[in-house]
Amino acid sequence: MTLREILIAPDPRLKVKSEPVERVDDALRSLMDDMLETMHEAPGIGLAAVQIGVAKQVIVMDLAKEGEAPEPRYFVNPEIIWESEDFHHYEEGCLSLPEYYEEVERPAEVKVRFLDYEGEIRELHCTEMLAVCIQHEMDHLEGILFVDHLTRLKRQMILRKLSKAKKQQAAELA
């Protein structure tokens, strides 16, 4: 397994719409293994392939808390087939927007159809943190960041700060 670089906003590759995967094979499983290792190392609870520069409809997640056994989940070509009429606000963060957290309103529950690690079709009813995480990661597959759900002012402020930090880091390395 290989650690991959996580893209940081405002990297334009994060705005690319991901392509469906034709089949789950050893190469894709290797990508998912790399993604899971990268996500754990970051540390995070979810990662979309586009966040490491691979514009494929692939998501990995692990919502296990510290001290709990890992619970890796793999979602290939996920699609929401049902969402609740109830909405909840949750504070979200993102590995591609480090150190920024804001409340986002999303459906409280969703049902997702996807291919798993072995390429089998699955459906999963998601609630609470799992519902938030899958919707957040599926947004990435469409080129949408959680800050795109915020007011224009808040979004611009966060992206400006990230851009400034990126330029400062580049200047320090030069």
**Residue 40 phi/psi, 5° resolution?**
-60, -40
Q: Per the domain annotation, does 32 fall within a domain?
A: yes
Indicate the number of domains in the chain.
1
Q: Per the domain annotation, does 1 fall within a domain?
A: no
Taking the C-alpha atoms of residue 23 and residue 121, their distance in angstroms, rounded to an integer, is 11
Taking the C-alpha atoms of residue 40 and residue 83, their distance in angstroms, rounded to an integer, is 28
102: CATH = 3.90.45.10
**Which pair of tokens denotes residue 84?**
């609740």
What's the pLDDT score for residue 66?
Answer: 85
Q: Which residue among 66, 68, 120, 137 is the active-site one?
A: 137
Q: Per the domain annotation, does 139 fall within a domain?
A: yes
Question: What mean pLDDT is predicted for residues 60-89?
Answer: 96
Residue 137 appears among annotated catalytic residues: yes
Task: State pLDDT tens for residues 127-169.
Answer: 999 999 999 999 999 999 999 999 999 999 998 998 888 888 8
Task: State pLDDT tens for residues 77-108.
Answer: 999 999 999 999 999 999 999 999 999 999 99
Taking the C-alpha atoms of residue 77 and residue 109, their distance in angstroms, rounded to an integer, is 19
* SS3 call for 109: strand
Torsion (CA) 136, 62, 10, 171 in degrees, nearest 10: 160
